[in-house]
């Protein structure tokens, strides 16, 4: 859909719905803004046939199940009261991590080993980093053995038997590896480290502004603080990008096993020379919002820009922000943690996912073919993949129905006129027939009498002597 300015109809609100865990009764009020926006852009006559899905991701998955259910129940109960979208209880859920050039691949319908394989164009892999989790997904050949819990096999075609739409995808989500969650884990490690050193060595690091904790992952000379158990730890940034990378590498939780990914999870081999990946969400924001280099990823240019940003004094960065030199949606929170997130993105990509430093086929993006690509689009495509044929049939019926309704006034008059003429013609034909019958009546009567007389005479002849 497009708005009146020909821009995609998109709206986002913050924070995530998981922030309402303690007040679940406010969940429907929170999401009302989004649904009201949708209802204004979708024609009212289409509301009852427009499916509404509310799918929650990593932020909800880390909540206790009781809190998740309380939030979902509030949505299930209140939304139908205010909106007429096609909506049922099953349309609200916390989804699993799986649901978040001319090279070709060989594909085959799962379970149909005797069927001839189909050759089609290669697909692109996806990297997505949110605030809480990070995902990777790419197609793997049928010859590659992958554990079922890391594999998704599905058909995105309308016809379940069309093998060219069958995809065998390695897909994994990593909770705690999103940009904000990573920063939180990093800060927790700082707190634990300083508390231990202060207690054992008698230091007072972070307790006063004169002895702050020196954080290389914050811009130069910025002052920040960490709240923990009622205490405040004071930080001052030193803006050392390389040092920051070294400090956060242990948070990748890599193992020494071959083909190991983040958290020691198995990752199938990637043909780096014959592959293409897109980086969404934080991969795009990290490269574009402040560094203004979204698009084709070049590690040398990226690291140089990140180093320069980290080493720039906070007062200078703030002045540039006030002059509007960064992306319009970049805020002070982005500026403050850009240094950390730049380093985190670099380490996740090159250390966690093991992409070589000279990899040239990563594109960070917000739009693909002028459409915003996020997990929500993938989820809705997957859930409605068998709807189009039914919808087309329904729309054709409705189109014909509405067509007749639109011209019903004119058609009714034509129909009445035709019926009137038919009835009138029938009456005339009937009257003409009656007239012919009346004209023939005398002649018919005479003929009948003559026949009777001759017949009677004939009958009398055998009885004559």
Q: Under 8 Å CB-to-CB from 333, ≥6 apart: which residues? A: none
CATH entry 3.40.50.300 includes domain 17-94: no
According to CATH, what is the number of the domain 104-182+240-373? Answer: 3.30.420.150
User: Mutual orientation of helices 299-310 and 241-248 as an angle, nearest 10°?
Assistant: 110
Quick one: pLDDT at residue 401? Answer: 47
The answer to whether 247 and 234 have CB atoms below 8 angstroms apart is: no
- Which residues fall in the annotated binding site for ATP? 131-135
Quick one: pLDDT at residue 403? Answer: 46
Which residue numbers are catalytic? 100
pLDDT < 50: residue spans in the chain: 101-102, 109-112, 389-409, 444-465
Quick one: pLDDT at residue 456? Answer: 42
How many CB atoms within 10 Å of residue 291? 20
181, two tokens: 């969650």
- Which residues fall in the annotated binding site? 131-135
How far, in whole angstroms, is CA 407 from its chain's centroid? 39
197, two tokens: 């050193």
137, two tokens: 């997904």
Where does CATH 3.30.420.150 sit in the chain?
104-182+240-373
Quick one: pLDDT at residue 305? Answer: 96
The dihedral of CA 41, 43, 47, 50: what is its sign?
Answer: negative
Quick one: pLDDT at residue 97? Answer: 62
**CA atoms of 335 and 324, how far apart (whole Å):** 12
């Amino acid at each position: 859909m497009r708005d009146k300015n020909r821009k995609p109809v998109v709206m986002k609100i913050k924070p995530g719905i998981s922030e309402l865990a303690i007040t679940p009764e406010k969940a429907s009020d929170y999401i009302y803004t989004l649904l009201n926006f949708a209802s204004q852009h979708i024609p009212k006559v289409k509301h009852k046939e427009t499916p509404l899905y509310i799918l929650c991701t990593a932020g909800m998955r880390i909540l206790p199940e009781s809190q998740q259910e309380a939030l979902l129940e509030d949505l299930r109960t209140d939304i139908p009261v205010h909106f007429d979208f096609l909506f049922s209880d099953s349309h609200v859920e916390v989804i699993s991590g799986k649901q978040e050039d001319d090279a070709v691949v060989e594909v085959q319908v799962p379970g149909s080993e005797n069927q001839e394989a189909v050759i089609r164009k290669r697909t692109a892999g996806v990297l997505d980093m949110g605030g809480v989790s990070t995902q990777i997904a790419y197609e793997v050949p049928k010859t590659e053995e992958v554990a079922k819990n890391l594999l998704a096999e599905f058909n995105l075609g309308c016809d379940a038997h069309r093998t060219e739409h069958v995809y065998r995808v390695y897909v994994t989500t990593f909770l705690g590896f999103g940009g904000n969650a990573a920063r939180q884990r990093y800060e927790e490690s700082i707190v634990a480290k300083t508390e231990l050193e202060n207690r054992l060595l008698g230091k007072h690091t972070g307790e006063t502004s004169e002895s702050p904790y020196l954080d290389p992952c914050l811009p130069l000379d910025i002052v920040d603080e960490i709240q923990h158990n009622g205490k405040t730890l004071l930080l001052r940034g030193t803006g050392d990008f390389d040092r920051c990378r070294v400090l956060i590498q242990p948070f990748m939780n890599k193992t020494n096993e071959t083909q190991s990914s983040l958290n020691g999870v198995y990752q199938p081999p990637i043909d780096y020379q014959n592959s293409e990946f897109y980086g969404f969400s934080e991969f795009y924001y990290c490269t574009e919002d402040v560094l203004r280099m979204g698009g084709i990823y070049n590690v040398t240019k990226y690291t140089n820009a990140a180093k320069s940003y980290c080493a720039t004094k906070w007062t200078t960065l703030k002045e540039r922000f006030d002059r509007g030199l960064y992306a319009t949606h970049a805020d002070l929170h982005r500026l403050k943690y850009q240094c950390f997130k730049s380093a985190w993105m670099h380490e996740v990509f090159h250390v966690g996912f093991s992409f070589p430093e000279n990899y040239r086929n990563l594109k960070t993006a917000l739009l693909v073919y002028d459409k915003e690509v996020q997990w929500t689009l993938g989820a809705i495509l997957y859930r409605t993949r068998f709807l189009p044929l039914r919808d087309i049939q329904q729309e054709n019926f409705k189109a014909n129905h509405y067509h007749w309704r639109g011209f019903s006034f004119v058609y009714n008059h034509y129909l009445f006129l035709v019926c009137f003429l038919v009835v009138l013609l029938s009456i005339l034909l009937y009257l003409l027939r009656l007239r012919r019958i009346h004209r023939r009546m005398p002649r018919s009567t005479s003929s009948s009498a003559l026949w009777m007389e001759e017949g009677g005479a004939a009958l009398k002849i055998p009885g004559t002597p």
